[in-house]
Structure 1
Amino acid sequence: MKRLSGVFLVVFLLAGCSPEIGSEAWCNDLKEKPKGDWTANEAADFAKHCVFK
């Protein structure tokens, strides 16, 4: 049970490390990511928040 709780804690902490959508850090991360790996939602959010500010 302790091991399972530890795994959930690590996953929760790592999920909190991604930058907020639309932030400058998020835009920079997507610029470095190959465009073929973007999802449709990422492409739409990128256009909305990073291109058409």
Structure 2
Amino acid sequence: MKSVKALLAALSVMTLLAACAPEVGSEAWCKEMKEKPKGDWTANEAADYTKHCVFN
């Protein structure tokens, strides 16, 4: 039972942290992506960056 509570607590923390990420296409997101190494971008991130930050 103790491990189930620990698992639920960990999942809750992860959910809260994920909710703090800036919205895709926002100025904060574009700035964050500029600072991230291009080799670490996913294909979707590259497409979103081009769509929202380059051609905006």
Q: How many residues are aligned here? A: 53
Please state how far the C-alpha of 1:3 moved relative to its aligned partner: 1.5
Q: Which residue of 2 aligns with 1:11?
A: 14
Q: Which residue of 2 aligns with 1:45?
A: 48
Compute the RMSD of aligned alpha carbons: 0.8
Please state how far the C-alpha of 1:2 moved relative to its aligned partner: 2.1
Question: TM-score scaled to structure 2, two decimals?
Answer: 0.87
Please state how far the C-alpha of 1:4 moved relative to its aligned partner: 1.9
User: Based on CA coordinates, which of the two structures has the bigger radius of gyration?
Assistant: 2
Letter matched to residue 46 of structure 1 = Y
Could you tell me which runs of 5 or more consecutive residues in structure 1 were left unpaired when the two chains were aligned. Answer: none
Q: Which residue of 2 aligns with 1:30?
A: 33
Could you tell me which runs of 5 or more consecutive residues in structure 2 were left unpaired when the two chains were aligned. Answer: none
Q: Percent identity?
A: 66
